[in-house]
Amino acid sequence: MPLLGPADPLPHVPRRILVAGNAGSGKSTLCRRIAERCDLRRVELDSLYWGPRWTPRPQFRAEVASFAEETHWVTEFQYKEVRRELLARADTLIWLDHPFSMVMGRLVSRTIRRRAGGVELWNGNQEPSLWSVFTDSEHILRWGWKTYRRNRTRVLELVDEVVVVRLRGQGQVERWLAGPLASVGEERAR
Protein backbone atom coordinates (compact mmCIF):
# COMPACT_ATOMS: atom_id res chain seq x y z
CA MET A 1 0.00 0.00 0.00
CA PRO A 2 1.47 3.42 -0.89
CA LEU A 3 2.14 6.07 1.71
CA LEU A 4 -0.76 8.51 1.92
CA GLY A 5 -0.13 12.24 2.10
CA PRO A 6 -1.97 15.13 3.74
CA ALA A 7 -4.56 15.45 0.98
CA ASP A 8 -5.14 11.77 0.17
CA PRO A 9 -8.54 10.42 1.21
CA LEU A 10 -8.50 7.75 3.87
CA PRO A 11 -9.62 4.32 2.63
CA HIS A 12 -11.77 3.74 5.73
CA VAL A 13 -13.06 5.46 8.84
CA PRO A 14 -10.16 5.02 11.29
CA ARG A 15 -11.11 3.49 14.63
CA ARG A 16 -7.75 2.46 16.12
CA ILE A 17 -5.05 5.00 15.31
CA LEU A 18 -1.35 5.04 16.11
CA VAL A 19 0.66 8.25 15.86
CA ALA A 20 4.36 7.70 15.13
CA GLY A 21 7.21 10.17 15.17
CA ASN A 22 10.33 11.19 16.96
CA ALA A 23 10.38 12.59 20.48
CA GLY A 24 9.25 16.19 20.14
CA SER A 25 7.37 15.68 16.89
CA GLY A 26 3.95 16.34 18.44
CA LYS A 27 2.58 12.80 18.81
CA SER A 28 0.70 13.45 22.04
CA THR A 29 -0.73 16.73 20.79
CA LEU A 30 -1.94 15.14 17.57
CA CYS A 31 -3.44 12.21 19.50
CA ARG A 32 -5.39 14.68 21.62
CA ARG A 33 -6.66 16.55 18.55
CA ILE A 34 -7.67 13.33 16.75
CA ALA A 35 -9.45 12.05 19.86
CA GLU A 36 -11.46 15.26 20.16
CA ARG A 37 -12.44 15.36 16.48
CA CYS A 38 -13.25 11.66 16.12
CA ASP A 39 -14.62 10.93 19.58
CA LEU A 40 -11.95 8.28 20.22
CA ARG A 41 -10.50 7.21 23.55
CA ARG A 42 -7.05 8.74 23.92
CA VAL A 43 -4.50 6.69 25.82
CA GLU A 44 -1.17 8.32 26.66
CA LEU A 45 1.41 5.55 26.80
CA ASP A 46 3.87 7.58 28.87
CA SER A 47 1.31 7.81 31.67
CA LEU A 48 0.92 4.03 31.65
CA TYR A 49 4.63 3.29 31.39
CA TRP A 50 6.21 5.67 33.92
CA GLY A 51 5.72 5.20 37.63
CA PRO A 52 7.08 7.44 40.41
CA ARG A 53 10.78 8.35 40.16
CA TRP A 54 10.86 7.40 36.47
CA THR A 55 10.49 3.68 37.14
CA PRO A 56 8.59 1.52 34.64
CA ARG A 57 5.22 0.34 35.96
CA PRO A 58 4.90 -3.49 36.07
CA GLN A 59 1.28 -3.41 34.86
CA PHE A 60 2.15 -1.47 31.67
CA ARG A 61 1.86 -4.37 29.21
CA ALA A 62 -1.40 -5.64 30.73
CA GLU A 63 -2.97 -2.17 30.59
CA VAL A 64 -1.91 -1.74 26.96
CA ALA A 65 -3.29 -5.17 26.06
CA SER A 66 -6.59 -4.27 27.71
CA PHE A 67 -7.18 -0.99 25.87
CA ALA A 68 -5.84 -2.41 22.57
CA GLU A 69 -8.78 -4.83 22.55
CA GLU A 70 -11.24 -1.92 22.54
CA THR A 71 -12.82 -0.85 19.26
CA HIS A 72 -11.99 2.89 19.28
CA TRP A 73 -8.73 4.51 20.43
CA VAL A 74 -5.76 6.68 19.51
CA THR A 75 -2.30 6.48 21.06
CA GLU A 76 1.38 7.02 20.37
CA PHE A 77 3.40 4.35 18.55
CA GLN A 78 6.24 3.89 21.01
CA TYR A 79 7.66 1.47 23.59
CA LYS A 80 9.20 -1.54 21.90
CA GLU A 81 7.53 -4.09 24.20
CA VAL A 82 4.02 -3.15 23.02
CA ARG A 83 4.50 -1.90 19.45
CA ARG A 84 3.65 -5.24 17.78
CA GLU A 85 0.51 -5.71 19.85
CA LEU A 86 -0.72 -2.19 19.09
CA LEU A 87 0.12 -2.52 15.42
CA ALA A 88 -1.79 -5.80 15.18
CA ARG A 89 -4.96 -3.98 16.31
CA ALA A 90 -4.44 -0.60 14.60
CA ASP A 91 -6.11 0.24 11.31
CA THR A 92 -4.25 3.51 10.66
CA LEU A 93 -0.82 4.92 11.47
CA ILE A 94 -0.15 8.65 11.23
CA TRP A 95 3.56 9.35 10.74
CA LEU A 96 4.86 12.74 11.84
CA ASP A 97 7.93 12.77 9.61
CA HIS A 98 9.02 16.31 10.42
CA PRO A 99 12.47 17.66 9.53
CA PHE A 100 15.16 16.99 12.12
CA SER A 101 15.68 20.71 12.87
CA MET A 102 11.96 21.17 13.59
CA VAL A 103 11.76 18.14 15.86
CA MET A 104 14.87 19.04 17.85
CA GLY A 105 13.79 22.68 18.16
CA ARG A 106 10.43 21.59 19.56
CA LEU A 107 12.06 19.05 21.87
CA VAL A 108 14.54 21.55 23.30
CA SER A 109 11.91 24.26 23.88
CA ARG A 110 9.46 21.76 25.41
CA THR A 111 12.12 20.36 27.74
CA ILE A 112 13.22 23.82 28.90
CA ARG A 113 9.61 24.97 29.38
CA ARG A 114 8.72 21.89 31.41
CA ARG A 115 11.86 22.07 33.56
CA ALA A 116 11.66 25.83 34.18
CA GLY A 117 7.95 25.61 35.02
CA GLY A 118 8.30 22.60 37.29
CA VAL A 119 5.65 20.84 35.22
CA GLU A 120 4.54 17.50 36.62
CA LEU A 121 4.50 14.92 33.89
CA TRP A 122 3.38 11.38 34.76
CA ASN A 123 2.91 10.03 38.25
CA GLY A 124 4.80 12.85 39.98
CA ASN A 125 7.78 12.93 37.60
CA GLN A 126 9.41 16.08 36.32
CA GLU A 127 12.01 16.73 33.64
CA PRO A 128 15.49 16.19 35.09
CA SER A 129 18.03 18.99 35.40
CA LEU A 130 19.02 20.41 32.06
CA TRP A 131 22.65 19.75 32.98
CA SER A 132 21.92 16.02 33.05
CA VAL A 133 21.89 16.08 29.25
CA PHE A 134 25.70 15.88 29.59
CA THR A 135 25.72 12.97 32.04
CA ASP A 136 22.63 10.88 31.23
CA SER A 137 22.83 8.93 27.96
CA GLU A 138 19.03 8.45 28.09
CA HIS A 139 18.19 12.17 28.58
CA ILE A 140 15.24 13.06 26.35
CA LEU A 141 17.34 15.46 24.25
CA ARG A 142 20.02 12.85 23.59
CA TRP A 143 17.31 10.23 23.01
CA GLY A 144 15.60 12.43 20.42
CA TRP A 145 18.88 13.01 18.63
CA LYS A 146 19.94 9.36 18.43
CA THR A 147 16.56 7.84 17.53
CA TYR A 148 15.56 10.14 14.66
CA ARG A 149 16.81 7.91 11.82
CA ARG A 150 15.77 4.71 13.59
CA ASN A 151 12.18 5.97 13.93
CA ARG A 152 12.01 6.78 10.22
CA THR A 153 13.29 3.34 9.24
CA ARG A 154 10.85 1.61 11.60
CA VAL A 155 7.81 3.35 10.09
CA LEU A 156 8.87 2.78 6.49
CA GLU A 157 8.98 -0.95 7.23
CA LEU A 158 5.27 -0.88 8.18
CA VAL A 159 3.82 0.36 4.91
CA ASP A 160 2.62 -3.12 3.90
CA GLU A 161 1.05 -3.81 7.31
CA VAL A 162 -1.20 -0.80 7.94
CA VAL A 163 -2.47 2.36 6.25
CA VAL A 164 0.29 4.95 6.79
CA VAL A 165 -0.33 8.68 6.43
CA ARG A 166 2.94 10.64 6.19
CA LEU A 167 2.84 14.25 7.34
CA ARG A 168 5.91 16.48 6.98
CA GLY A 169 5.66 19.79 8.82
CA GLN A 170 2.85 21.45 10.75
CA GLY A 171 1.20 22.75 7.60
CA GLN A 172 0.61 19.20 6.39
CA VAL A 173 -0.72 18.19 9.81
CA GLU A 174 -3.27 21.01 9.66
CA ARG A 175 -4.25 20.16 6.06
CA TRP A 176 -4.79 16.51 6.99
CA LEU A 177 -6.88 17.38 10.05
CA ALA A 178 -9.04 19.79 8.04
CA GLY A 179 -9.26 17.54 4.95
CA PRO A 180 -9.16 13.73 5.06
CA LEU A 181 -9.74 13.40 8.82
CA ALA A 182 -12.61 15.89 8.78
CA SER A 183 -14.17 14.00 5.86
CA VAL A 184 -14.20 10.69 7.71
CA GLY A 185 -15.45 12.48 10.81
CA GLU A 186 -18.49 13.52 8.80
CA GLU A 187 -19.00 9.88 7.75
CA ARG A 188 -18.75 8.76 11.38
CA ALA A 189 -21.43 11.29 12.38
CA ARG A 190 -23.92 9.89 9.84
Cα separation, 19 vs 33, whole angstroms: 11
Q: SS3 for 60? A: helix
Q: What is the pTM of this model?
A: 0.91
DSSP-derived secondary structure letter, 133: G
Residues 16-51: pLDDT tens digits?
A: 999 999 989 999 999 999 999 999 999 999 999 999
Measuring CA to CA, how many Å separate 138 from each of 118, 132, 143? 20, 9, 6
CB 172 within 8 A of CB 4: no
pLDDT of residue 108: 86
Residues in the chain with pLDDT values less than 50: none
